């Protein structure tokens, strides 16, 4: 879910929902934006888990601070807790399938600066392997069916294949750069 991006952004500075959403849209570029329909429920879950808490906003009224009942115009500012910081570190250091798919990889890369170089390399290699497999799968499927496809389906599949191949090359560069100049960890 939105665990990593929310915790990651709150690690930089306390923030309210609206601002989180704006930052999320630009942060991930290719990896789409998220709607309020997922943002606010996520914040609630993170609150319940204790990873974040609510900072007293200057204008906030006392009494009746339940989720959804707010007397004055409440700007709800969220902040990362100590447990949340630990949890975020654990999530970012996670290697395995989750870290290699589109969303898992994208969100982790966006917060790579907060990880050790060793972990960064493992995630990059895992993602590269995943994308290589995907590209090879598309390539062989295309080779098998090429002559049966109409012009448009063919264009669609070739474009998809080239996109995958390009990502593999990009990852290769990232890996080489990482090996040559291993930035210090967080």
Taking CB under 7 A as the criterion, the residue among 12, 13, 41, 176 binding DNA is: 41
Q: Which is nearer to DNA, 18 or 170 (CB)?
A: 18
Which of the listed partners (DNA, a second copy, none) does 28 bind, with a CB threshold of 5 to 8 Å by partner kind?
a second copy
- Dist. CA 142–CA 137, nearest whole Å: 8
Token reading at 134: 């995907």
| DSSP category for residue 13 | S
CB of 150 to a second copy, least distance (A): 4
Instruction: Choose which of 26, 30, 37, 152 interacts with DNA (CB under 7 A).
Output: 37
Residues 6 or more apart in contact with residue 166 via CB below 8 angstroms: none
Task: Kindly determine how many residues on this chain lie close enough to bind DNA according to the rule CB under 7 A.
Answer: 27
Q: Which one among 23, 70, 116, 139 touches DNA, defined by CB under 7 A?
A: 70
Q: What value, to the nearest 5°, has the Cα angle with vertex 178 and ends 186 and 11?
A: 25
d(CA 154, CA 145): 9
Name every residue whose Cβ is closer than 8 Å to that of residue 62 and which is 6 or more positions away in sequence: none
Residue 161 partner contact from DNA, a second copy, none using kind-dependent CB cut-offs of 5 to 8 Å:
a second copy
List the beta bridge partners of residue 54: 78
Output 31 or 40, the one with its CB closest to a second copy.
31
| Piece of the chain touching a second copy by CB under 8 A; list 44-52, 57-65, 89-97, 158-166 | 158-166
Q: Among 100, 10, 119, which Cα is nearest to 55's?
A: 10
Vertex 120 angle, CA 119 and 123, to 5°: 85
Q: Is residue 172 near a second copy by the rule CB under 8 A?
A: no
Rg (CA), the chain: 21
Binding site for a second copy (CB under 8 A): 26-31, 106, 109-110, 112-113, 138, 141, 145, 150-153, 155-157, 159-161, 163-164, 166-167, 170, 174, 183
Binding site for DNA (CB under 7 A): 1-2, 16-19, 22, 32, 34-38, 40-43, 45, 67-68, 70, 73-77, 101
């Amino acid at each position: 879910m939105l665990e990593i991006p929310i915790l990651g952004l709150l690690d930089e500075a306390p923030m309210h929902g609206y601002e989180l959403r704006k930052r999320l849209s630009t942060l991930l570029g290719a990896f789409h934006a998220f709607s309020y329909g997922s943002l606010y429920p996520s914040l609630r879950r993170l609150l319940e888990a204790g990873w974040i808490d609510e900072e007293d906003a200057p204008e906030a009224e006392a009494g009746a601070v339940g989720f959804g009942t707010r007397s004055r115009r409440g700007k709800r500012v969220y902040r990362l807790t100590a447990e949340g910081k630990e949890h975020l570190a654990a999530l970012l250091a996670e290697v395995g399938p989750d870290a290699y798919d589109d969303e898992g990889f994208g969100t982790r890369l966006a917060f790579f600066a907060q990880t050790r170089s060793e972990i960064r390399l493992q995630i990059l290699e895992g993602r590269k392997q995943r994308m290589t497999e995907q590209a090879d799968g598309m390539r062989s499927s295309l080779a098998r069916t090429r002559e049966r496809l109409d012009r448009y389906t063919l264009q669609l599949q070739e474009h998809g294949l080239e996109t995958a191949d390009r990502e593999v090359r990009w990852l290769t560069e990232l890996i080489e750069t990482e090996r040559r100049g291993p930035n210090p960890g967080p």
